[in-house]
């Protein structure tokens, strides 16, 4: 069903890439029957790092403060156990530049000098992560021989990735190339049909973070619908899943929680690349109107399912202001749940999403409790330490950090083995420990936006279980049957071993 149309053989950084021309197909699925289910974005739902829900949502933080202005660890530091159609092809060879262990779809396309796009008018959905080597695809496509870049389309955070979470974007013009930029995070969440007039092929190149709540995958699906309606091919330039291609975590999204941060019935951590997810979206009929879509994937070279981001030897380009480091992206699936609570989740500090806390928390006890419970559950690959920090405004990054100017006490996570670390599971342990302290102090539930929490969790079940005092082990055990069913469902769409 899915062909392997991009292959590589290499030694000593010499690259030979056999690239099936886009005109022939790359990896693709056959047309499916009409899909059922709603697909439009719901404005009330966006909340996670690259989306917000309402005026009370806080924004993310990025590196920029110092230990003096904020976060310091106490002397008590503890560690969890860790293990540290027909097709034609063209061959492109280069031996002069060292290459990372893994090449993205954009790299592969650029190494072919965009030969497969010759004579075509191109649209690009991209942002600051849309690089081939050190160059932005907008610039490369503009300079490519006999290729016309007609328009670029910008998701949440904008084409250069500097807009705040939830910030509405207007259409614009790229100051370097003069290419028109169509906003996909304003009045439109997908390319309007008139913006696709005069475009022969639509490319998608966004680095996502492998979690359901991150809005770039919603942008992808809605844009697939727009391409299908316009009758033009949709090409995913594949990129690695930072969490690898094995680990599944969290609740499946329930139908009532469909939103722009929960567009598909998938778990919190879903173990698919963007290309594989696109194939599943079409093949499993998770969105309407994709029956006739010409869907193609330019595959990664050198990636396998066991690889997390650090194994790829690729630099991390933050896909949004709140995830400036791979460390933040690694812990994000679990700590993002704290966005819907009264606690800080590290915004306004050097450790966004790696730290959680509040002025009333006993940090030493919280660290000890989380260490004890995660050790008892056999969780590995991270360290927990008690910390204190003072969130501060970081211009263009965190403009409204929770507890701005107040000293916050809590814990910080340091991941020591990304392949072993289970972020959503650890997040559940942290929620339970923080709620225990809040209850003892008569503060009630730490979840102050229950609707948002359910949207992030994917189901009301997690909130209900936390309120009922269900153990973390029992909560996680309840996920497993649906996760295994999801693994079986998506196996036909896997492009990599």
**Token pair 């950084």 is at which residue?**
13
pLDDT one-digit tens code per residue, 179-232: 999 999 988 999 999 999 999 999 999 999 999 999 999 999 999 999 999 999
At 186 the pLDDT is 87
Using a 10 angstrom Cβ sphere, with 0-12 exposed, 13-18 middle and 19 or more buried, the burial of residue 460 is: middle
Between CA 271 and CA 202 the distance in angstroms is 25
Convert the pLDDT of each residue in 436-481 to its tens digit. 999 999 999 999 999 999 999 999 999 999 999 999 999 999 999 9
Q: 237 falls in which pLDDT band (50, 70, 90)? A: very high
Confidence of residue 165 (pLDDT cuts 50, 70, 90): low
Nearest to 363 by CA among 389, 342, 391, 325: 389
| CB atoms inside a 10 Å sphere around CB 66 | 10
Which residues does residue 183 pair with via DSSP β-bridges, in sequence order? 154
**211: closest CA among 319, 345, 333?**
333
Instruction: Map residue 81 onto helix, strand or coil.
Output: coil
Classify residue 251 by its DSSP letter. P
What torsion do the CA atoms of 34, 37, 41, 43 make, to the nearest 10 degrees?
Answer: 160
Sorted by where each starts, the structural domains of the chain and their CATH numbers stand as 6-41+86-317 (3.40.50.12170), 72-83+321-485 (3.90.1150.140)
Please say if the pLDDT value at position 167 is more than 50. Answer: yes
Sign of the torsion formed by the C-alpha atoms of 60, 63, 69 and 74: positive
What distance in Å separates the CA atoms of residue 160 and residue 162, rounded to the nearest whole number? Answer: 6
Look up residue 17 and give its two tokens: 């890439």
Classified as helix, coil or strand, 166 is coil
Six-digit token pair at 11?
A: 């030694």
Token digits of residue 378: 């056999």
- Is the pLDDT at 382 greater than 70, yes or no? yes
Among 162, 201, 207, 211, residue whose Cα is nearest residue 185: 162
Number of neighbours of residue 162 by Cβ within 10 angstroms: 14
**Over 70: is that where the pLDDT of 64 sits?**
no
**Average pLDDT score over residue span 383-392:** 98
């Amino acid at each position: 069903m899915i062909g392997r149309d991009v292959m590589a053989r290499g030694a000593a950084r010499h690259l030979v890439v056999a690239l099936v021309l886009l005109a022939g197909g790359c990896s693709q699925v056959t047309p499916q029957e009409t899909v059922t289910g709603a697909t439009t974005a719901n404005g009330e739902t966006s909340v996670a790092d690259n989306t917000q829900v309402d005026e009370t949502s806080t924004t993310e933080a990025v590196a920029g403060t110092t230990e003096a202005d904020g976060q310091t660890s106490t002397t008590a530091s503890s560690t969890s156990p860790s293990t540290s159609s027909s097709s034609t092809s063209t061959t492109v060879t280069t031996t002069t530049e060292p290459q990372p262990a893994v090449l993205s779809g954009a790299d592969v396309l650029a190494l072919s000098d965009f030969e497969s796009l010759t004579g075509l008018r191109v649209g690009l959905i991209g942002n600051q992560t849309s690089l081939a080597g050190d160059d932005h695809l907008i610039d490369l496509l503009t300079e490519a021989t006999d290729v016309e870049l007609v328009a670029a389309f910008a998701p949440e955070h904008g084409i250069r990735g500097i807009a705040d979470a939830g910030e509405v974007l207007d259409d614009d013009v790229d100051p370097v190339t003069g290419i028109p930029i169509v906003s996909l995070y304003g009045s439109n969440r997908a390319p309007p049909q008139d913006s696709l007039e005069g475009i022969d092929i639509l490319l998608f190149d966004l680095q996502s973070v492998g979690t359901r709540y991150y809005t770039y995958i919603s942008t992808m699906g809605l844009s697939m619908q727009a391409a299908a309606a316009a009758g033009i091919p949709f090409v995913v330039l594949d990129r690695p899943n930072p969490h690898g291609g094995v680990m599944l975590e969290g609740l499946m999204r329930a139908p009532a929680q469909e939103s722009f941060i929960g567009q598909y019935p998938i778990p919190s951590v879903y173990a698919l690349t963007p290309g594989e997810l696109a194939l599943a979206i079409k093949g499993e009929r998770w969105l309407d109107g994709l029956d006739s879509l010409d869907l193609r994937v330019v595959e990664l070279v050198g990636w396998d399912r066991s690889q997390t981001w650090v194994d790829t030897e690729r630099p991390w380009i933050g896909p949004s202001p709140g995830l400036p480091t791979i460390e933040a992206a690694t812990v994000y699936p679990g700590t993002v749940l704290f966005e819907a609570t009264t606690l800080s989740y590290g915004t306004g500090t050097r450790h966004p999403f790696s730290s959680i806390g509040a002025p009333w928390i006993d940090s030493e006890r919280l660290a000890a409790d989380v260490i004890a419970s995660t050790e008892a559950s056999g969780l590995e690959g991270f360290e927990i330490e008690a910390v204190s920090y003072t969130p501060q405004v970081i211009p263009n990054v965190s403009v409204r950090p929770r507890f701005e100017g107040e000293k916050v006490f809590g814990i910080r996570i340091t991941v020591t083995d990304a392949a072993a670390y289970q972020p959503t599971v650890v997040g559940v342990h942290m929620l339970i420990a923080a709620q225990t302290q809040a209850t003892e102090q008569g503060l009630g539930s730490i979840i102050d936006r229950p609707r948002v929490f359910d949207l992030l969790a994917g189901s009301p079940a997690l909130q209900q279980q936390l309120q009922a005092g269900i153990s973390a082990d029992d909560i996680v055990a309840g996920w497993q049957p649906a996760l295994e069913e999801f693994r079986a469902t998506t196996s036909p769409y896997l492009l990599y071993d």
